[in-house]
Chain A
Amino acid sequence: MTPGIIAQHAPALIIALPLFAAFATPLIGRYSRQARDAWIFAAMAATAAIAAVLAYQVYTVGTVVYAFGAAAPHIPLPIDSGGIPIRIIFTVDAMSAFMVVTAAISGFAVTLYSLISESKLTGRDGFYALLLLLITGILGMVCTGDLFNFFVFLELNSIAGAALIAYRNDKGVAIEAGLKYAFLCTIGGLFVIFATALLYGQYNALNIAMLASRIEFTMLDKVALVLLLAALAMKAGAVPLHFWTPDAYSMAPGSITALLVVASQAGLYGVFRVVFTLYSVTLDYFAVGWIIIVLGVLSMFIGVTMALVQKDVKRLMAYHAVSQTGYMLLGVGVGLAVLGQQGLMDAYGLVAMEGGIFHIINHAMYKGLLFLTAGAIFYRTGTRNLNRLGGLGHSMKWTMIFFIIGALAIAGIPPFNGFASKLMIYESVFLFNPLLAIIAMVVSILMLASFVKVFQSIFMGPRLPEYADVKEAPLPMLIGMGILAVVTVAFGLAPAWVVDQFVAPAAAALVNQSGYIASVLGGL
Chain B
Amino acid sequence: MFNNLPFIAAAVIGGIGLTALLFRRNIIKMIMGVSLLEASVNLFLVTLGYRQGGIAPIFTNAPEGPMVLPTVQAMTLTNIVIGIATTALLLSFAMMIYRKYGTADAGSIRKLRG
Indicate if A touches B (C-beta under 8 A): yes
Q: Does A430 make an interface contact (CB < 8 A)?
A: no
A309 CB contacts on chain B under 8 angstroms? 114
The segment from A53-61, A188-196, A291-299 found at the interface with B is A188-196
B72 CB contacts on chain A under 8 angstroms? 197, 200
Closest approach, in angstroms, between the C-beta of B88 and any C-beta of chain A? 10
A166 CB contacts on chain B under 8 angstroms? 93, 96
Q: Are A197 and B45 in touch, CB under 8 angstroms? A: yes
A176 CB contacts on chain B under 8 angstroms? 97, 109-112
Q: Are B89 and A162 in touch, CB under 8 angstroms? A: yes
Which of B44, B89, B99, B101 lies in contact with A182, CB distance below 8 A?
A: B89
User: Which residue of B41, B44, B93, B114 has the most chain A CB atoms within 10 A of its CB atom?
Assistant: B93
Q: A190-B41, A197-B44 are in contact. Are A177 and B100 (CB under 8 A)?
A: no
Main DSSP-derived SS at the A contact region: helix
The segment from B51-59, B60-68, B79-87 found at the interface with A is B79-87
A163 to B100, CA, bound (A): 17
A177 CB contacts on chain B under 8 angstroms? 112
Q: Are A173 and B112 in touch, CB under 8 angstroms? A: yes
Closest approach, in angstroms, between the C-beta of A366 and any C-beta of chain B? 24
Interface residues of B, count at CB 8 A: 32
A134 to B66, CA, bound (A): 42
Q: Does A383 make an interface contact (CB < 8 A)?
A: no
A166 to B100, CA, bound (A): 13
Q: Are A183 and B100 in touch, CB under 8 angstroms? A: no
Q: Are A179 and B97 in touch, CB under 8 angstroms? A: yes
Which of A162, A172, A186 lies in contact with B101, CB distance below 8 A?
A: A172
Q: Does B20 make an interface contact (CB < 8 A)?
A: no
Q: Are A159 and B85 in touch, CB under 8 angstroms? A: yes
B13 CB contacts on chain A under 8 angstroms? none
Q: Are B82 and A189 in touch, CB under 8 angstroms? A: yes
Closest approach, in angstroms, between the C-beta of A407 and any C-beta of chain B? 22
A306 to B78, CA, bound (A): 40
Q: Does A354 make an interface contact (CB < 8 A)?
A: no
Interface residues of A, count at CB 8 A: 38
Q: A155-B86, A159-B89, A176-B112 are in contact. Are A190 and B96 (CB under 8 A)?
A: no
A172 to B94, CA, bound (A): 10
Which of A171, A178, A190, A250 lies in contact with B93, CB distance below 8 A?
A: A178
Q: Are B89 and A163 in touch, CB under 8 angstroms? A: yes
Q: Are B93 and A175 in touch, CB under 8 angstroms? A: yes
A152 to B112, CA, bound (A): 30
Q: Does A336 make an interface contact (CB < 8 A)?
A: no
A179 CB contacts on chain B under 8 angstroms? 27, 90, 93-94, 97
- Across the interface, name the chain A residue whose C-beta is closest to B100: A172
Q: Are B30 and A183 in touch, CB under 8 angstroms? A: yes
Q: Does A148 make an interface contact (CB < 8 A)?
A: yes
Q: A187-B34, A193-B79, A197-B48 are in contact. Are A169 and B100 (CB under 8 A)?
A: yes
Closest approach, in angstroms, between the C-beta of A178 and any C-beta of chain B? 6
Q: Does A83 make an interface contact (CB < 8 A)?
A: no
Which of A155, A182, A200, A246 lies in contact with B90, CB distance below 8 A?
A: A182
A49 to B79, CA, bound (A): 32
B114 CB contacts on chain A under 8 angstroms? 246, 306, 309-310, 315
Q: Are A247 and B75 in touch, CB under 8 angstroms? A: no
Q: Does A477 make an interface contact (CB < 8 A)?
A: no
User: Which residue of A158, A175, A189, A247 has the most chain B CB atoms within 10 A of its CB atom?
Assistant: A175
Which of B34, B45, B100 lies in contact with A186, CB distance below 8 A?
A: B34
A309 to B85, CA, bound (A): 37
- Across the interface, name the chain A residue whose C-beta is closest to B112: A247
Q: A148-B75, A159-B89, A173-B112 are in contact. Are A183 and B34 (CB under 8 A)?
A: yes
Q: Are B75 and A193 in touch, CB under 8 angstroms? A: yes
A423 to B78, CA, bound (A): 45
Q: Are A171 and B100 in touch, CB under 8 angstroms? A: yes
Contact with B along A437-453 (1 / 0, CB 8 A): 00000000000000000
User: Which residue of B27, B79, B112 has the most chain A CB atoms within 10 A of its CB atom?
Assistant: B112
Q: Are A152 and B82 in touch, CB under 8 angstroms? A: yes
A246 to B100, CA, bound (A): 21
B71 CB contacts on chain A under 8 angstroms? 200, 206
Closest approach, in angstroms, between the C-beta of A339 and any C-beta of chain B? 32
> Can you sample 29 A-B contacts with CB below 8 Å?
A148-B78, A152-B82, A159-B82, A159-B89, A169-B96, A172-B97, A172-B99, A172-B101, A172-B111, A173-B112, A175-B96, A175-B100, A178-B93, A179-B27, A182-B93, A183-B34, A183-B90, A189-B82, A190-B37, A190-B41, A193-B41, A194-B41, A196-B75, A197-B72, A246-B112, A247-B112, A250-B112, A251-B112, A309-B114
Q: Which residues of B contact A (CB under 8 A)?
A: 21, 27, 30, 34, 37-38, 41, 44-45, 48, 71-72, 75, 78-79, 82, 85-86, 89-90, 93-94, 96-97, 99-101, 109-112, 114
Additional 10 contacts, C-beta under 8 A, given A163-B89, A183-B90, A197-B45: A166-B96, A169-B96, A178-B93, A179-B27, A182-B86, A182-B93, A186-B34, A186-B86, A246-B114, A309-B114
Q: Which 3 A-B pairs have the closest CB atoms?
A: A172-B100, A179-B93, A247-B112
